[in-house]
Chain A
Amino acid sequence: MLLAVQNLTKRFDDVTVFADISLSLMAREAVALTGESGSGKSTLLHVIAGLEPADGGDVIVDGQKIEDLNDGGRATLRRDHIGIVFQQFNLIPSLTVAQNLSFQARLSGRTAIETRPLAETLGIAGQLEKYPEQLSGGEQQRVAIGRAVANGPKLVLADEPTGNLDEDTSDLVFDLLLSMARESGAGLLVVTHSQRLAERADRRLHLSHGRLSG
């Protein structure tokens, strides 16, 4: 099992975002997580990525229990094994597209990163020397997906990756995310509002009132 979430609870002050939820994810599996705004989907993703601490329960990624790791350990886990795609793209504005694509992979110690084939797959081969602000939203999100998978992660977490895109571009980007995750052999957990897109995943989970159903 690639990802195991067991009895996970998260609170913000007195408000319980979710309580006692469990889920699992296998390699090459794509799971869509849906739910209303404010239901805690993004928070769940952040806790799984080790970006935010849980208030109870366990998150185990590739056999490593996140709660046992310190800030540096979690950073290493993300760097080496997790690819993250955000709704706001969150590319590094001071680096070119090519540098953004290879950044995480090089960070984890890989030296020979071929960005051109990756960029060709993503359909942004002509944009390699450009800076993020020179790209459209769809192009930026393709760069973010490329960055997330370039390192061959075991787990890809995507938080509303199409939230800022039009319908056609959303379809394109979502399909790209699914195919690239599958090709790289990673497990994919994707948060989305869109039932239409969620249907393309292998499995769907729904988070509502702090409870997970699937």
Chain B
Amino acid sequence: MSRVVLLTLLSYWQRRPFQLFTLVVGLALATALWSGVQAINAEARKSYAQAAEILGGYSVLKDKTNAPIAEATFVKLRRSGWLVSPVIEGLIPADRARVRLLGVDPFTMPQISTAADAISKTGISDFLGANGTILAAPVTAERLTDYANRIQIVEGMVPGTVLVDLSAAKHLLQSTGYTRLTLLPDQPLQRPELADIAPSLDLHAPETAADLSRLTDSFHLNLTAFGLLSFVVGLFIVNGAVGLAFEQRRQTFRTLRTIGVAANRLIVILIAELLLIALLAGVLGILLGYGIAAALLPDVAATLRGLYGASVEGALTLSPTWWLSGFVIAVVGTGLAAATSLFKVAKLSPLATGQPRAWERASATTMRAQFVAALACLAVAGAVWGLGSGLVAGFILLGGLLLGAALLLPTLLSAALNLAQKRASGPVSEWFWADTQHQLPSLSLAMMALLLALSANIGVGTMVGSFRLTFTGYLDQRLASELYVSLEDEADIPAFLAFVEPRVDAVLPIWRTEGDVLGAPAEIFGVVDHPTYRQNWPLLQALPDVWDGLAIGQGALVNEQLARRENLAVGDELPMPGGLKTYVAGIYSDYGNPLGQVILPIAVLTENYVDTDRHDFGLRLADGALDAVRTALVEDFGLPPDNMVDQASLKAFSLSIFERTFAVTGALNILTLGIAGVAILTSLLTLAAMRLPQVAPVWAIGVPRRMLSRIELARALILATLTFVLAVPVGLALAWVLLAVINVEAFGWRLPMQVFPFDIIRLFLLSLLAAGLAALWPARRLSVRPPADLIRVFTHER
């Protein structure tokens, strides 16, 4: 019997292929965006894990001040029984971005590691020596054109990292010592204490994927949130399509129930039918998701490289788990979207199932339930705002706000339409508002999808716009020097200073080191006393005489992210690596930097950190002097042109990283808006057929089809406008949450919010265009609909 019933139910789709198409497309899109984002995240995490485990994930010894470890220290440790292996790490130039170079000693290194496997695959003899082979993954090899003759491609190598012999690394990086010493497992029990034999070193836990993940988690969480948003918007389409299919088949349900099909059996068969559709849509969605992931991955990789220095490359590899999760999400999505319709079928009596009003009453109940759920979501958002903290709480606030607003929309639209109906004067206008109100249960899902997409668009647009404006202003302040120079060798400093000082207004050293500050890696810079800093440095909080203090070697500046992370305020003590103790004299904004940063007086930096990198300088120049100084540095001083970058290029480069960072967000934003457009189109098209019983009498008593079609178009535009009116405050609230909560939690900085009215107006016009285009087809169909179609309404049961 079940087979007969299933075939009867499926015959409905045979007669309405477009509706089936709608359902499958909605579900496929929902699955696609979610799966696509998951694929990107999985690929990135795989890269982090590979990068962390290239040397096997062992503990390491590092110099306390991050200075290179002398060969003598290594020898001393080995002789005293410590089983350690030296590693030299650095970056070498390559196409698009620099590549991480790892120099290892194949004889002492841990033999259970990705690196050891790679060396054994290619043969150790070619690997050894200063001119030995460079082992690289195929995608990385393509970028290392300068070393083409030494490259040995190794499948399975970590993308973005190359492996060389220790002596080759010394040569390529011009290194004076080792970066770290890897501690092999199974150390002898009888060995001297580290503090006795190498007091300048300390032990660090193995580097894990979590170290990089911690930095990039917020980025992936952002992507996941967008994927989830698109998934929810897609589910609105599915919910609408399933709801309409159930509504149109209520006569069939009634017949089946009255001829002896039990409610439970009917539900099970309906679930089987939906499962078939979910599996079909799942396959399409997964394929589409793969396409989306492949298209977005280069931008994601650029963002991760630009923001976090994390290398994610290579083609997407799809695991069986990913395929499976795609199907699961399609099935779960269908279940979620169809739950209310199935519930209605289960609850309605056999006779009531066939009564349109019974179904409508169920819809009215749904609207009331939506209103209560909306209040609950907004209450949760409010509670989290007041009491919660952390990134997850931020996303709960975001989700509560969006979902609450979406669920509140039908009630607000209903109230607005009621008001309009009361104020309407003409019969057509009265009918228009009353009929729109009547259609609301069927159209509200599409409008909710539109609200989500518009709010997300306004919110993210405002955030990106605010960020861009602040970031541009910030770059103007921070990049005050007209020319930035990087010396080849620190020994050249005296000659360089002697050469440039007569030609420039000021020479500002940009000297730096790295170290753990308050338990996390941080950049440490030095600053000289110069008006450039006093006039330009963007301080958020500072002691009254901050620059005077720094000029005499007192205090330090910290960036906003370090201050927020460690809850630092001006005047607080600041313990620095190597035992240096100072205090926070000021806090400055430092957008785009995931790391903590400290600025010390330059004398304090050089006295306390011998490993300070002193290659870089900023040069302040008189107007119009840039080209002459640059030419003199190349031709007279002998500096390679690549070692200089002017302010404009640096700003352009920084902005290009910024733009690529938000390219992914922009693409997902547009896709979400596109899905909302599809939601409106499919709802209107499906509704167009169902609405004939309402439209035909109006036509029969004297309203021409052309006017009816114009009314249909106006209805879509008015509903889109009303939805937009709610989307604006929701979107701005979303922007505020992104800027003041999510950004602070994810990146450690807070941005001032700016509103861009022209962007909002443009989006309004775009949403009208989307709604208008979506309504145009059904409206046009109505205007040219053969009278015979309309007449059928008068001769058949509705």
Enumerate chain A interface residues (CB-CB to B < 8 A).
Answer: 42, 46, 49, 51-53, 71-72, 75-76, 78-80, 84, 86-88, 90-95, 99, 102-104, 106-108, 133, 147, 159
Contacts and interface: CB of A to CB of B under 8 A. Distances in A.
12 contacts: A71-B704, A71-B705, A79-B701, A88-B794, A92-B435, A94-B434, A107-B427, A107-B428, A107-B701, A133-B356, A133-B357, A147-B701
A108 B788 CA distance: 24
A159 B794 contact: yes
Contacts of A72: 704, 706
A185 B437 CA distance: 37
Interface string B22-58: 0000000000000000000000000000000000000
Nearest to B696: A90
A42 B703 contact: no
Contact of B797 (A78, A84, A88, A133): A88
Contacts of A42: 794-795
Chain B CB within 10 Å — which of A42, A90, A99 has the most? Answer: A90
Interface string B697-712: 1111111111000000
Interface string B703-742: 1111000000000000000000000000000000000000
Nearest 4 A-B pairs (CB), nearest first? A79-B702, A94-B438, A106-B427, A94-B434
B791 A51 contact: yes
Contact of B698 (A46, A86, A92, A159): A92
A76 B702 contact: yes
A84 B790 CA distance: 15
B787 A92 contact: no
Interface in B760-798: 787-788, 790-791, 793-795, 797-798
B702 A104 contact: yes
A92 B701 CA distance: 11
Contact of A99 (B430, B697, B700, B795): B430
B13 interface: no
Contacts of B698: 92
Contacts of A107: 427-428, 701-703
B431 interface: yes
A71 B427 CA distance: 20
Nearest to B430: A99
Contacts of B787: 51-53
Interface in B423-443: 426-428, 430-431, 434-435, 437-438
Contacts of A159: 794
A97 B493 CA distance: 94
Given A92-B431, A93-B438, 11 more contacts: A52-B791, A72-B706, A75-B699, A79-B702, A87-B794, A88-B793, A88-B794, A88-B798, A94-B435, A99-B427, A102-B427
A86 B701 CA distance: 11
A75 B704 contact: yes
B694 interface: yes
Contact of A92 (B694, B795, B797, B798): B694
Contacts of B699: 75
Interface in B672-712: 693-694, 696-706
A164 B697 CA distance: 18
B431 A94 contact: yes
Nearest to B357: A133
Contacts of B704: 71-72, 75
A107 B427 CA distance: 6
Contacts of A133: 356-357
A87 B798 CA distance: 12
B192 to A, nearest CB: 91
A78 B795 CA distance: 19
B605 to A, nearest CB: 76
Contacts of B791: 46, 51-52
B700 A84 contact: yes
A90 B700 contact: yes
B706 A103 contact: no
Chain B CB within 10 Å — which of A78, A102, A147 has the most? Answer: A78
A51 B699 CA distance: 9
B434 A78 contact: no
A147 B697 CA distance: 11
B427 A84 contact: no
B702 A108 contact: yes
A95 B698 CA distance: 12
Contacts of B430: 95, 99
Contacts of B693: 90
B702 A86 contact: no
B444 to A, nearest CB: 15
A40 to B, nearest CB: 12
Interface string B392-433: 000000000000000000000000000000000011101100
B696 A80 contact: no
A75 B702 CA distance: 4
A147 B162 CA distance: 85
A80 B701 CA distance: 9
Given A88-B798, A95-B434, A49 B427 contact: no
Contacts of B435: 92, 94
Contacts of A91: 697
Nearest to B788: A52
Contacts of A93: 438, 694
Contacts of B437: 94
Nearest to B708: A75
Nearest to B426: A106
A53 B438 CA distance: 32
Given A42-B795, A46-B791, A94-B431, A80 B426 contact: no
A94 B691 CA distance: 12
Contacts of B694: 92-94
B794 A103 contact: no
Interface in B354-406: 356-357
A49 B696 CA distance: 14
B700 A78 contact: yes
B692 to A, nearest CB: 11
A75 B703 contact: yes
A95 B788 CA distance: 25
Contacts of B703: 75, 79, 107
A196 to B, nearest CB: 23
Contacts of B697: 86, 90-92
A180 B788 CA distance: 29
Contacts of A71: 704-706
Chain B CB within 10 Å — which of A92, A99, A102 has the most? Answer: A92
Contacts of B790: 51
B431 A103 contact: yes
